[in-house]
Amino acid sequence: MSSVPASAFLALALILFCIGLYGALTKRNTVIVLISIELMLNAVNINLVTFSKYGIAPSITGQVFALFAISVAAAEAAVGLAILISLYRTRKTVNIDEMDTMKN
């Protein structure tokens, strides 16, 4: 019925995921890194929703899981920013490569 194959949605999700991943691993600005992570989560959500329609056993579960993922992502964004701000207060920078406390 649908003229758009499932793999098209999956491919879109894959590309978005890769973009997010690239951003998360290369960008220096912490805010952008956080945003990139959100983008990756979104890509995953697309997959979830896709499979809820085109899966082997399609059901509403995929969408419910996407909802959960969104809420967790929201919480994560909030906490992430809180951490970012408190870090910024002590370090006066948002550059991720200056945050290397794990080294010692």
Partner 1 sequence: MMENAWLIPLFPLLSFLILLLFGKRLKEASAYVGILLTLASLVFSILVLFERFSEPTYSTKFDWLTIGDLHLTAGFEVNQLNALMLFIVSLVSFLVHTYSKGYMNGDERFPVFYAYLGLFTFAMLGLVISPNLLQTYIFWELVGVGSFLLIGFYYYKEEAKAAAKKAFIMTRIGDVGLFIGMILLFWETKSFEYSEIFAAVDAGAVSGTMITLTAILIFIGAVGKSGQFPLHTWLPDAMEGPTPVSALIHAATMVAAGVYLVAALFPLFAASKTALLTIAVIGAFTAIFAASIGLVQTDIKRVLAYSTVSQLGYMMLALGSAGYVAGVFHLMTHAFFKALLFLAAGSVIHAVHTQNIEEMGGLWKKLKLTGPLFLIGTLAISGVPGLSGFFSKDEILVAAWEGGHPILFFLALIAAFMTAFYMFRLFFLVFTGEARSEQKHVHESPNNMTYPMILLGVLAVIAGYVNTPWFGSFLGDWLVDGNPALGHGHVEGPIWIMIAATVVSLAGIYFAYLMYRKRSIARNTISGTGDTLHTILLNKYYVDEFYQLTVVAFTKGLSYFLRFIDVFLVEGLVKGVVGIVQGLGRTGSKMQTGQVQTYGAVAFFSLALLVVIFALTGGYLR
Partner 2 sequence: MTFSGEFLAFMGLALVALIGGVLLLNLTKVVHMVVALIFTFVAIAGIYVLLSAEFVASVQVLIYSGAITIIMLFGIMLTKHDDENEPKTGKLRKLLVFLGILGFAFAVYIGIYNFNVEQEQTALHENNTMQIGKALYSKYIIPFELTSVLLLAALVGSIILAKNEKKEADDE
Give residues in contact with partner 1 (CB under 8 A): 21, 24-26, 33, 96-97, 99-104
Nearer of residues 3 and 104 to partner 1, judged by Cβ: 104
Nearer to partner 1, 89 or 103 (CB): 103
| Contacted entry of partner 2, partner 1, none for residue 33, CB cut-off 5 to 8 Å set by kind | partner 1
User: Which C-beta is closer to partner 2: that of 63 or that of 104?
Assistant: 63
Is residue 92 exposed (0-12), middle (13-18) or buried (19+ Cβ within 10 Å)? exposed
Residues 63-82: b if buried by 16+ CB within 10 A, e if exposed: eebbeeeeeebeeeeeebee
**Long-range contacts of residues 97-100, Cβ cutoff 8 Å, at least 24 apart:** 97/28, 99/30
Q: How far is the CB of 2 from partner 2 (least distance, A)?
A: 6
**DSSP letter assigned to residue 28:** -
Strand partners, 29: 95
By beta-carbon proximity to partner 2, the closer residue of 46 and 99 is: 46
Question: Could you tell which of partner 1, partner 2, none binds residue 91, using a CB distance below 5 to 8 A set by kind?
Answer: none
- Min CB(95)–partner 2 separation in Å: 7
